[in-house]
C-alpha cells in the first residue's frame, strides 16, 4: 500500500498494485524524457487540464522508477492500467501534487 505522506501513489498495472514515487532522480528522468529545462510547465499543464498522454506516461514511468519498479517504457506502453486513461491521469496528477507539496508543520 502506498504511503501518501512519503509521496507515494498506487496504480494497478497488469493486475498488480504498484507504488509510484517522484524522487529527485525520478524528477530528473522526467525532465529528460519530456525535454524540459524545468518541470514548472508540466505542473502548469496539469493544473490547467492541458496535459498530454505523453505527459501522463512519462510521469507514471518516472514514478515507477522512483519507487524502484523495473518496468521499461516499452512494457508500460503495452501494459493494462486498471481504470484506463482516467486512472493513469489521476495518478500522474497526484504524483505531481505530492512531489511539490509543502510538508505539514510538526506540532
- CB contact at 8 A, 10 and 95: no
Q: pTM to 2 decimals?
A: 0.88
- CB contact at 8 A, 11 and 81: yes
pLDDT for res 70: 92
End-to-end CA distance of the chain: 26
* Angle formed by the axes of helices 53-66 and 24-34, nearest 10°: 150
pLDDT for res 101: 77
What average pLDDT is seen over the chain? 89
pLDDT for res 17: 97
pLDDT for res 7: 86
Where the chain has pLDDT below 50, the residues are 105-107
The cell numbers describing 27, all together, are 524528477
pLDDT for res 37: 72
What residues form DSSP beta bridges with 13?
A: 16, 81
pLDDT for res 103: 64
pLDDT for res 90: 95
pLDDT tens-place string over residues 75-104? 999 999 999 999 999 999 999 989 887 666
SS3 (DSSP) at 83: coil
Amino acid at each position: 500500500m502506498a504511503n501518501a505522506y512519503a509521496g507515494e501513489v498506487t496504480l494497478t498495472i497488469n493486475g498488480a498494485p504498484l507504488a509510484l514515487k517522484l524522487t529527485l532522480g525520478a524528477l530528473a528522468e522526467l525532465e529528460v524524457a519530456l525535454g524540459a529545462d524545468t518541470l514548472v510547465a508540466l505542473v502548469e499543464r496539469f493544473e490547467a487540464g492541458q496535459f498530454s498522454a505523453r505527459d501522463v506516461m512519462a510521469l507514471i514511468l518516472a514514478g515507477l522508477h522512483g519507487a524502484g519498479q523495473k518496468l521499461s517504457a516499452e512494457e508500460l506502453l503495452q501494459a493494462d492500467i486498471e481504470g484506463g486513461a482516467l486512472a493513469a491521469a489521476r495518478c500522474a496528477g497526484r504524483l505531481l501534487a505530492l512531489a511539490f507539496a509543502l510538508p505539514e508543520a510538526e506540532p
